Every structure is written in C-alpha cells, then in structure tokens.
C-alpha cells in the first residue's frame, strides 16, 4: 500500500486500536509522527509513547503508543480527525486556529516553530497547517 498520507494512517491505526480495545499500537516512526505522539501524550490522550527498534530484518523504527482508558474501558480519545490532506491542505493564521469542541479538544498545528497545539500556536501568535483534531 502506498503511503500518500502517513498522518491519516497514524490516526487510523490509533482509531482502530481503540475500537479493538488494544493496550498498545505500533506504527512506522517518523519525526512528524513522533511529534503527534508527543502532543497526544502531553495533552493526556495517551498513557505514553516510545520509539522502538523493529524486529530483525525490518528497516527503520516503530512508534509504540500505550493507549489510555478509563476504569470502565472508555478511551481517553473519543475522536481523531485529519484536517489538512495531501489533496487539500488547510492553512490558518494565528487568529483563525480552530477551536475543537469549544476548547475541550485539541487542534494539532504544524507551524514554522514546530508542531504544537492550537492553544500554544494561538499563544505564540503563529499559524500553520492544521494537521488534525483530537477530542
């Protein structure tokens, strides 16, 4: 399968793992995906994440994400949406960074100063590409 949109793949794998109630999910590592995982971790959507070496013979590394659930097995993540897509990029300036669920959710923005939450980008006065929304 050709990977035209690694971020959509990242979100889909996490979504599928949650639906299947998995404890962890592994996906091909990249700098950008590490940043996504870091933000999910900082915002409390996942328990932890780490970069692990792939089994013998495989190229590259994997990101392993430990998913977070409540006592009654509900995921800390109730939704993940890809916003900007390869065929239709979505860019915003600092004033137009979308609020997710009235501020309850998190927008993930790729800015000239790195990948950050919509909240942090707004505070820093920078816009960028709206990668995804999490709630």
Split into its structural domains, the chain has a count of 2
CATH (domain of 86): 3.30.1490.10
DSSP character string of 31-93 = HHHHHHHHHHHHTTSEEEEEEEEPSTT--SEEEEEEE-B-TTS-BS---EEE-SBTTB--EE-
Q: What is the pLDDT confidence band of residue 5, given thresholds at 50, 70 and 90?
A: very high
- CA 79 to the chain's CA centroid: 11
Mean pLDDT of the chain: 95
Q: What is the pLDDT confidence band of residue 16, given thresholds at 50, 70 and 90?
A: very high
pLDDT, residue 74, reads 94
pLDDT, residue 56, reads 76
Q: What is the pLDDT confidence band of residue 59, given thresholds at 50, 70 and 90?
A: confident
Give the predicted TM-score (pTM) of the model.
0.92
Q: Which of 56-60, 82-86, 114-118 has the lowest mean pLDDT?
A: 56-60
Full residue range of the structural domain in which residue 123 is found: 80-134
109 in a structural domain: yes
- What distance in Å separates the CA atoms of residue 132 and residue 106, rounded to the nearest whole number? 8
CATH (domain of 19): 3.30.1370.30
Q: What percent of the chain has pLDDT over 90?
A: 90
* Same domain (yes/no): 89, 116: yes
- What distance in Å separates the CA atoms of residue 102 and residue 57, rounded to the nearest whole number? 46
Residue 28 predicted with pLDDT over 70: yes
């Amino acid at each position: 399968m050709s990977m035209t949109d690694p971020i959509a793949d990242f979100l889909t794998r996490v979504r599928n793992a949650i639906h299947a109630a998995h404890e962890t999910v592994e996906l091909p590592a990249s700098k950008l995906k590490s940043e996504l995982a870091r933000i999910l971790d900082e915002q409390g959507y996942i328990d932890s994440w780490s970069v692990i070496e792939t089994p013998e013979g495989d190229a590259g590394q994997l990101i392993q994400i430990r998913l977070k659930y409540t006592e009654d097995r509900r995921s800390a993540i109730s939704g993940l949406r890809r916003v900007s897509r390869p065929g239709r990029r979505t860019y915003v300036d600092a004033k137009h960074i979308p609020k997710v669920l009235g501020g309850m959710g998190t927008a993930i923005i790729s800015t000239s100063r790195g990948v950050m939450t919509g909240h942090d980008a707004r505070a820093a006065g920078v816009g960028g590409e709206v990668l995804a929304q999490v709630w």
